Amino acid sequence: MAKFQKYEQKIRKYKEKLKKLVTRIGISYSEEFDLVDEELKKLILPCHLGVMFYTDFDTNLFKQIKSLLNQVFDSFFFGINNLGQFHFGKALFSKGIKKEHKEMRKINDKISTHPTNKFYQELINIRTKEKLGIIILLTDLPIYSSSDDNIVFMFGETHLKHRCSVVSTLKLKEEFYDRVRDDKLFEQRVLKEIIHEIGHILIGSPHCEENSCVMKFSKAVEQIDNKPYSLCRECNLKLDKIRDKLNF
């Protein structure tokens, strides 16, 4: 019996370690609120990608997103659709999400940060309804990872299994740091973060160590500014491998 307990302890420790690693790289594998995904199956490529917005963004931004994604992930998308404004539906108040919302308020009543799971369930529903392979939401709400309360105010997060991403623009604004507003810089950061999150869905969770790669992890905006829109050679090879394997 003691032997089993020891094993159990070991496994629990390992699980904690793994969880910490996962949250450090900013990707949620957390299923604590059991996201419901009727269409859950492997991503079929090329696919359709949908972009949604929550709160106002310049209409030109979508055009730029589309053009850059098509450039960086050449031939991966049949189409990139502008899904327009995101509306919180009734699903937001479904059991799990409501509970999370309540708990979140308890923890943090000063800053109204939003758990990524809140968005994921809605995004899964829309992705299924619109028959999309991947869906990404752009919002200016502050977001935190549903897998770890310690991460407040993230730039973005991707749920690999459910093929949906959320990018929060709040921390990408110069005004957030009490600096002069810079629309150009802001746009560049938004585009890089979107490419980065979509990159995770296509080539997986690990971050790239290469400075000249959009898949490098950015903890601060300065790090986003220092990286390009594009993927490095190694990461591009990963895309090539997928194209070769699936023959497109």
Interface ranges with Zn ion (CB under 5 A): 208, 210, 213, 215, 232, 235
Q: How far is the CB of 234 from Zn ion (least distance, A)?
A: 5
Catalytic pick among 100, 157, 187, 197: 197
Q: How far is the CB of 172 from Zn ion (least distance, A)?
A: 14
Q: How far is the CB of 116 from Zn ion (least distance, A)?
A: 13
β-strands 134-139, 164-168 pairing: parallel
- Residue 125 or 199 having the CB closest to Zn ion: 199
- Rounded CA gap, 35 and 57, in Å? 28
- Residue 61 or 232 having the CB closest to Zn ion: 232
- Residue 104 or 213 having the CB closest to Zn ion: 213
C-alpha distance from residue 153 to each of 112, 163, 168, 181, 200 (Å): 10, 21, 8, 19, 19
Tokens representing residue 39 in the block: 């269409």
- Would residue 197 show up in a list of annotated catalytic residues for this protein? yes
Annotated active-site positions, please?
197
